[in-house]
Amino acid sequence: MKSLHNRVAVITGAGSGIGRALAFELAAAGCKLALSDINETAVKQAAKELQDSGHEVIADRLDVADRDAFYAYADKVLEHFGEAHIVINNAGVAVGATVENTSYEDFEWLMGINFWGVVYGTKAFLPHLKKAEEGHIVNISSVFGLISVPSQSAYNAAKFAVRGFTEALRQELEIEGSSVSCTTIHPGGIKTNIARNARMNESSVRAMTGKDVDGARADFEKLFRTSPEDAAKAIIAGIRGNKRRVLIGGDAVAIDTMQRLLPTSYQMLMTSGQKLLSRFS
């Protein structure tokens, strides 16, 4: 994207973490903002801080898993701003459980947000992006969209799906010669609340780690090395450079390299490591 000044950026999950950091970074770059989050209090607080600094921002509660609500939200954004240029499908949740112990309800809850929320956000705004001078869609996958890990089957399924969906869309837009493009984001460990807010199955966590849920959350959060602000800057650089994908953090680069070098045998490393972790915990 040639310039971010006066562009309208739409960000889901903007009440905290990467979404909130993106809102402040894009505002600083001159964007007008449409922010949403399931946590209305958090997203409106972020919007107020930006408005108090002189930025044009609207904020709404949005359940991205609700298709009708997402389309109504897109209409509201277009009614307010008249156009949209950047859509960042960032909202996400996590579930920690084995396949056997993950309920259908938890699978559906996670897929509704992490995958269908991306699909709805993309399809609701894509026709409007095509009407603008240029547009860009950013869909957040994960390093768990590059490799799979035990107890993360639902999350892996959604993040692999986001990757495939976005890569296919990118090719379709290029074949059309569209002024719209898209980027897949693969963050490593980012210092957000996603682990703290994840749905965790106690027996699965003990089987995989030898610890209770609180202990497993604490250990997982120790792996979060990258700040949301640094992640936001990397994503914006990807938009500016029209990157096909963006790896965020040294851990993401390492995991991508491992998957390339050991496309199937990385699984044996993961299972061996998990067994040792469980044994000595």
Q: What are the two backbone dihedrals, phi and then psi, of residue 144, each rounded to the nearest 5 degrees?
A: -80, 5
Helix (H) or strand (E) holding 88: strand 86-89
Between CA 63 and CA 117 the distance in angstroms is 8
Residue 82's CB is within 10 A of a number of other CB atoms, namely: 10
Question: Looking at this protein, which amino acid is placed at residue 153?
Answer: S
Rg (CA), the chain: 19
Q: Taking each helix axis as running N to C, give the angle between helix 67-81 and helix 117-131, from 0 to 180 degrees, rounded to the nearest 10.
A: 30
104 is catalytic: no
Residue in 73, 120, 155, 266 annotated catalytic: 155
Between CA 79 and CA 83 the distance in angstroms is 8
Between CA 151 and CA 144 the distance in angstroms is 11
Between CA 273 and CA 96 the distance in angstroms is 17
- Strands 95-96 and 57-61 turn out to be unpaired
Between CA 130 and CA 137 the distance in angstroms is 11
Query: What Cα–Cα distance (Å) separates residue 248 from each residue in 98, 141, 143, 234, 251?
Result: 27, 11, 9, 7, 8
Cβ atoms of residues 94 and 195 within 8 Å: yes
Non-local CB neighbours of 197 within 8 Å, separated by 6+ positions: 93, 94
- The residues that are catalytic are 155
